[in-house]
Structure 1
Amino acid sequence: MTIFLKANWENIIMANYEIDPKILFPFLPKGVELDLYDGKAYVSLVGFMFKKTKLFNVPIPYFGTFEEINLRFYVVRKEGDTVKRGVVFINETIPYPIVAWMANKLYKEHYTVVPTKHEITTERKSKKVQFEWLLSKKWNSIYVEATTEAKVMEKQTLEKFIYEHYYGYTKIDEHNSEEYKLQHPSWLVNQVLDYKIECDFTAMYGDSFSVLNTTKPEAVFIAEGSSVGIEWKRNRLNIGNERH
Structure 2
Amino acid sequence: MRRSLLSMRWTDILFAHWSVDPGVVAATLPEGLDVDTHDGDAYLGVVGFRMESIRPRGLPRSLGLSFPELNLRTYVRGSEGGGVYFYNLDADDRIGVSLARGLFRLPYYRAAMQVDDRGDGVRFRSRRTHRGASPAQFDATYRATEEAEPVAPGSLDAFLTERYRFYTESDGGRLYRGEIDHPPWPLSDAALTIRENTLFAANGFDRPGGEPHVRYSPGIDVTAGRIRRS
TM-score by shorter chain over 0.5: yes
Tell me the residue number matched to 2:180.
182
| Consecutive aligned runs of 4 or more in structure 1 exceeding 4 Å deviation | 59-63, 135-139
Q: CA deviation at 1:53?
A: 1.1
Q: Contact conserved, 2:91 with 2:110, CA < 8 A, in 1?
A: yes
**CA offsets per residue over residues 165-207 of structure 1, 9 Å max, x none?**
1101001257521011110111111221x2112212355x23x
Moved more, 85-94 or 151-160: 151-160
Flag structure 2 segments of 5+ consecutive residues without an equivalent: 130-134
Tell me the residue number matched to 1:231.
225
Q: CA deviation at 1:78?
A: 5.1
3-state DSSP of counterpart to 1:191: strand
Q: Contact conserved, 1:76 with 1:86, CA < 8 A, in 2?
A: yes
Tell me the residue number matched to 1:240.
none
Tell me the residue number matched to 1:28.
29
Give % identity: 26
Q: Contact conserved, 1:19 with 1:41, CA < 8 A, in 2?
A: yes
What code does the residue aligned with 1:140 have? Answer: F
Q: CA deviation at 1:35?
A: 0.7
Q: 1:130 aligns with which of 102, 110, 123?
A: 123
Q: CA deviation at 1:162?
A: 0.5
Give the CA RMSD over aligned residues: 2.6
Aligned length: 223
Flag structure 1 segments of 5+ consecutive residues without an equivalent: 238-244
Q: 1:215 aligns with which of 199, 209, 216?
A: 209
Structure with the greater alpha carbon radius of gyration: 1
Q: 2:107 aligns with which of 98, 110, 123?
A: 110
**Alignment map for 1:1-244 (pairs within 5 Å):** 1-58=2-59, 64-77=65-78, 84-121=81-118, 128-135=121-128, 140-147=138-145, 149-172=147-170, 176-192=174-190, 194-197=191-194, 198-201=196-199, 205-206=202-203, 208-209=204-205, 211-212=206-207, 215-232=209-226, 234-237=227-230
Task: Give the Cα separation in 1 of the matches to 2:151 and 2:55.
Answer: 28
Q: CA deviation at 1:223?
A: 1.9
Task: Give the Cα separation in 2 of the matches to 1:167 and 1:202.
Answer: 23
3-state DSSP of counterpart to 1:58: coil
